[in-house]
Structure 1
Amino acid sequence: MTRIIERLSEVSTNYDAYFVDLWGCVHDGVHPYTDAVDALRQVRANGGFVVLVTNAPRHRTSVEGQLDQIGVPRDCWDTIATSGDSARAAMFTGAVGNKVWFMGEDHDRSFFDPLALIDNPVDIEEVALDKADGIVCCGPFDPHTHPDTLRPQLLLAKQKGLKLLCANPDIVVDRGATREWCAGAIAQLYTEMGGESLYFGKPHPPIYDLARRRMTAEGRAVDDSRILAIGDGILTDIKGAQGEDIDSLFITGGLARDETKTDRQPDPDALQMFTTAEMVTPTFAIGYLR
Structure 2
Amino acid sequence: MASKEHTGVTLLLNSVSEILTQFDVAVLDQYGVLHNGVEAYPNADSALRVLANAGVSMVVVSNSGKRADFNRQRIASRGLTADLITSVVTSGEILWEDFAQETVLSGPGPWKLLSINGAAGDAEAWRAELTSLIFVEEVSEADAVVLMGLPDGDSFDEFTPMLRAAYQRRLPVICSNPDRRSPAPGQFVRSPGNVAAMYEDMGGTVLWYGKPYPRIYEAVRSQFPEVSRDRFLMVGDSVEHDVQGAQGAGFRSLFVRNGIHLSDFEDIPDTEITTVIDSLSTQYEVRPPDYSIAEFG
Q: Same fold (TM over 0.5)?
A: yes
**Which one of 84, 87, 91 corresponds to residue 95 of structure 2?**
87
Alignment of 1:83-232 (within 5 A): 83-92=91-100, 93=102, 95-96=104-105, 98-105=111-118, 106=120, 108-109=122-123, 110-114=125-129, 123-127=132-136, 128-140=138-150, 142-213=151-222, 215-216=223-224, 221-232=226-237
- Worse-matched range after superposition: 242-251 or 271-280: 271-280
Q: Counterparts of 1:253-268 in structure 2 under 5 Å? A: 253-261=258-266, 267-268=273-274
Mapped to 1, the partners of 2:207 and 2:260 lie a distance apart of 24
The two structures, once aligned, show a CA RMSD in angstroms of 2.0
Could you say which residue in structure 2 is the equivalent of 1:74? 82
Contact 2:25 2:59 in 1 (8 A): yes
Per-residue deviation, 1:75: 3.9
Measure, in 1, the Cα distance between the counterparts of 2:280 and 2:197.
21
> Secondary structure of the equivalent of 1:239?
helix
Selected match of 1:246 from 245, 251, 255: 251
Rounded Cα–Cα distance in structure 2 between residues aligned with 1:229 and 1:147:
30
Task: Report the AA paired with residue 231 of structure 1.
Answer: G
**2:163 partner SS:** helix
Structure 2: distance between partners of 1:237 and 1:276:
15
- Length, aligned pairs only: 279
| Structure 2 contact 11–292 (Cα < 8 Å) conserved | yes
Aligned equivalents of 1:264 and 1:180: distance in 2? 28
- Report the alpha carbon displacement of residue 74 of structure 1 after superposing the two structures with TM: 1.8
Aligned identity (percent) is 27
Residues 162, 252 of structure 1: alpha-carbon distance in 2 compared, 3 angstrom cutoff: same
Deviation at 1:181, TM superposition (A): 1.2
Task: Find 2:276's aligned residue among 266, 270, 276.
Answer: 270
Q: What amino acid is the match of 2:48?
A: L
Which amino acid letter does the alignment assign opposite residue 114 of structure 1?
E
Q: Counterpart of 2:282 in structure 1: which amino acid?
A: T
Tell me the equivalent position of 1:118.
none
Q: TM-score, normalised by structure 1?
A: 0.90
Tell me the secondary structure at the aligned position of residue 258 of structure 1.
Answer: helix
Task: Write out per-residue CA displacement over residues 55-100 of structure 1, whole angstroms, 9 at most, x where no aligned residue.
Answer: 1111111112212222221244221111111111233416246011
TM-score, scaled relative to structure 2: 0.88
Rounded to whole Å, the distance in 1 between the matches of 2:103 and 2:12 is 44
Given the alignment of the two structures, is residue 233 of structure 1 paired with residue 243 of structure 2, yes or no?
A: no
- Does the CA contact (< 8 Å) of 2:62 and 2:90 recur in 1? yes
In structure 2, do the counterparts of structure 1 residues 144 and 221 end up closer, same or farther at CA, with 3 Å as the change threshold? farther
Task: Indicate the residue corresponding to 2:4 in structure 1.
Answer: none
Deviations 1:3-26 (A, max 9, x none): 111111111111110110010101
Alignment partner of 1:6 is 2:41: no
Q: Mean alpha-carbon deviation: is it higher for 189-198 or for 98-107?
A: 98-107
Gaps (5+ residues) in structure 2? 1-8
Q: Distance in 2 between matches of 1:282 and 1:178?
A: 25
Q: 1:40 to 1:55 in 2, by over 3 A?
A: same
Q: Deviations over 1:178-229 (max 9, x none)?
A: 311111111111111111110110000111121123x34xxx7321121100
Question: Counterpart in 2 of 1:25?
Answer: 33
